[in-house]
């Protein structure tokens, strides 16, 4: 895709390559550690992006030890076992359906907590939509900071919830490997829909 018409600076072009044009969903990983501090850096960037009423329902559980990843193994689809077990960091992107409890802090100028208590039918959609949105922000932030991402949905969500979240209000959405991808394990990039096929301008 040609971005010359966007009047990007050289720095902007380099960032676009890291986040979009050269970035790929990874199928395998190099044996390179991910410094723990970068996980905080990613969070500090991604949490600045918008959510409805600043509700911020994304919760992330990081699996960095062999023991933690082995707990995940039984919940993985067969084709994803090696991909996740060899990944330096596996992030469980989960949704907190009790997000409204934190709204007095996150959205203090109005009674957001009371709003969702009075409208419980809005909780599920609000939580899932915004947690998924935040996970997207998170992957872009990770790429901007030099990591590769390998998101997957091939796993048993109920099993993951039972293993890691128990009786809490957290429910897994999808998993994402974080690290430095192995270029030898990439497939050719698949086609994408053109603007005319995906977009309508009214």
Give me the DSSP letters along 130-183.
Answer: HHHHHHHHHHHHHHHTT-EEEEE--B-HHHHIIIIITTSSEEEEEEEEEE-B-G
pLDDT for residue 10 = 72
Q: Is the pLDDT of residue 141 over 80?
A: yes
Q: Is the pLDDT of residue 20 over 90?
A: yes
- Yes or no: domain 25-182 corresponds to CATH 3.40.109.10: yes
pLDDT tens, residue by residue, 54-95: 999 999 999 999 999 999 999 999 999 999 999 999 999 999
Q: Is the pLDDT of residue 157 over 90?
A: yes
Q: What percent of the chain has pLDDT over 90?
A: 93
Band the pLDDT of 143: cuts 50, 70, 90.
very high
pLDDT for residue 11 = 73
Q: Give the sheet arrangement for strand 170-179, strand by strand.
A: 58-63, 89-96, 170-179, 148-152
Whether pTM exceeds 0.75:
yes
């Amino acid at each position: 895709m040609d971005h010359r018409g966007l009047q990007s600076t050289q720095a902007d072009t380099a960032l676009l390559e890291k986040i979009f044009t050269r970035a790929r969903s990874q199928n395998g990983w190099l044996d390179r550690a991910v410094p723990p501090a970068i996980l905080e850096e990613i969070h500090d960037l991604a949490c600045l992006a918008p959510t409805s009423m600043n509700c911020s329902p994304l919760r992330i559980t990081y699996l960095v030890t062999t023991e933690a990843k082995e707990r995940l193994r039984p919940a993985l689809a067969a084709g994803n076992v090696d991909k996740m077990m060899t990944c330096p960091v596996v992030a469980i992107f989960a949704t907190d359906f009790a997000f409204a409890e934190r709204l007095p802090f996150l959205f203090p100028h109005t009674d957001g907590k009371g709003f969702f208590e009075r409208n419980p039918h809005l909780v599920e959609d609000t939580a899932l939509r915004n947690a998924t949105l935040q996970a997207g922000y998170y992957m872009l932030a990770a790429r901007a900071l030099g990591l590769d991402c390998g998101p997957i949905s091939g796993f048993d969500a109920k099993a993951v919830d039972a293993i890691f979240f128990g009786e809490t209000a957290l429910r897994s959405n999808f998993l994402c490997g974080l690290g430095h991808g192995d270029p030898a394990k990439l497939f050719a990039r698949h086609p994408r829909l053109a603007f005319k096929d995906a977009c309508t301008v009214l």
